Structure 1
Amino acid sequence: MQVTTTTAVSFLLSCYLWVVEPRDTTSTLTVPNGWSGSIWGPKQVCASGYAQKFSLKVEPYQGIWRDDTSLNGIRLYCSDGSIISSAEGEYGTWSKEESCKSGFLNSFSLRVSAREPINDNTAAENVKFKCTDGRELEGSGHAWGEYAAWSESCQEGGICGIQTKVDIVPRYNAVDPTGLENVRFFCCS
């Protein structure tokens, strides 16, 4: 039997795809104050292990006459060395990483501004996490809006995945674009 390059590449690619199949999640963590309206980005999950650190993509205050988008993205740093995120807005810069001293991210609370019919809307402003060791971490987002109640906690293991809802319409195409509007995290055992 003659093996062609195409056959060999197809075989190797199918083996690779079989090995990196996403792992199953056991539950989804949500909070009640996220906005609805935008489309959910892709679900991303750590290949193995759990999220130990996070960082935020935040646009600084733009001044009274310019539009603000505030929180534009969340990255999770997994114990297996991978970095995962879902959809993100184009504005802002990434903050330094906040890390659990021991253990993993286990629950969260989202700081969100209310929708305003006249004022500049920004949606999500910041996020806090609780670690499995009891430590509480807060991101470096804005202090606008209010935090809602904490999500449920992962029953075993910790947070291993993320999915975000982000307004991705560019500023020049929208009357009042926001940034990150909602997020959900996934637990793995």
Structure 2
Amino acid sequence: MAGCRVPVALAVALLSGVLAESGGALENHSVIQVPNGGPWGAWAWQEMCPEGTYATGFSIKVESYQGLTNDDTGMNGIRLHCTRGDRHPAHDVESQSGMWGKWSEPLWCPPGGYLQRFSLRVEKVRGGMKDNMGATNIRFTCSGGETLEGHGLSWGEYGVWSPRCPKGLCGVQTKQEMPRGALRDDTALNDVRFLCCSH
């Protein structure tokens, strides 16, 4: 269409999402996800742990409660901390994150453990002119059976647990609603899926 141009950064982001959605970048990695993610936004790019590492911990980016008259976005991002089994050195991967909130301190599986499955807390669609938030928190189980819950918000409900990645999590892909502008309702992170380690 004449006169219609898409900014380069947006075009790259959209293309990355399309390539990721098509499965072309999945290689031999299986994907785990849950059915209760929020409805807004689009899938961003995948980001993988470096070869030979896997997720032994995570952090989340959360906007604190903004009060009755302000817009809340809840969870804005998820980082996997990838290591070779120890906590340090760690390489962080996060796909796309929203612009609001602060990153939490990492939560780690016990020594020798790694993240295997997850459950997502999501606020149901509220309708009308009410403030929607999408995803508000996440929890994981480690290979030794321990549960780690993020320091997110209490709104919404946890859904079912995802399938398990027997060899751990090696990548992440988020579904983000881009900022909508002044006086519009933003929800930021709505859904996430993880790529399983193949070896």
TM-score bracket for this pair, using the shorter chain length: 0.7 to 0.9
Q: After TM superposition, list the pairs within 5 Å mapping 1:27-176 onto structure 2.
A: 27-48=30-51, 49-80=53-84, 81-101=90-110, 102-118=112-128, 119-155=130-166, 157-172=167-182, 175-176=184-185
Q: Which amino acid aligns with 1:160?
A: C
Is the CA contact 2:40–2:176 (under 8 Å) kept in the aligned structure 1?
Answer: no
Show CA shifts across 1:108-148 (max 9, x none). Answer: 00000000113210000000000011110000000100000
1:185 aligned onto 2:194: yes
Give CA deviations for 1:58-91 in whole Å, capped at 9, x if unaligned. Answer: 0010000000001000001001531100111100
TM-score by length of 1: 0.83
CA radius of gyration, larger in: 1
- Residues 40 and 187 of structure 2 are in contact (CA less than 8 Å); yes or no, is this contact kept in structure 1? no
Following superposition, which runs of at least 4 residues in structure 1 exceed 2 angstroms of deviation? Answer: 22-26
The offset of 1:170, in angstroms, is 4.2
Deviations 1:148-175 (A, max 9, x none): 00000013x1000000011122441x62
Counterpart CA distance in 2 for 1:60 and 1:132 is 30
Q: Deviations over 1:3-45 (max 9, x none)?
A: xxxxxxxxxxxxxxxxxxx884431110010023411111001
CA distance in 2, matches of 1:64, 1:171: 19
Partner letter of residue 164 of structure 1? T
Provide the TM-score with structure 2 as the length reference: 0.79
**Structure 1: distance between partners of 2:169 and 2:100:** 26
Which secondary structure state, in structure 1, belongs to the residue aligned with residue 44 of structure 2?
A: coil
For 1:54, the aligned partner's letter is F
Contact 1:25 1:186 (8 Å CA) reproduced: no
Identity percentage of aligned residues: 43
Cα-Cα RMSD: 1.5
Report the Cα distance in structure 2 between the residues aligned to 1:26 and 1:87, rounded to whole angstroms. 19
Is contact 1:88–1:168 with CA below 8 Å preserved after alignment?
Answer: no
- Matched length: 166
Gaps of 5+ in 2: 1-24, 85-89
Partners in 2 of 1:55 and 1:170 — Cα distance?
25
Structure 1 regions of 5+ residues with no counterpart?
1-21
| SS of alignment partner, residue 40 of structure 1 | strand
Q: 1:124 to 1:23 in 2, by over 3 A?
A: closer
* Paired residue type of 1:113: E
> Does structure 1 conserve the Cα–Cα contact (< 8 Å) formed by 2:122 and 2:134?
yes
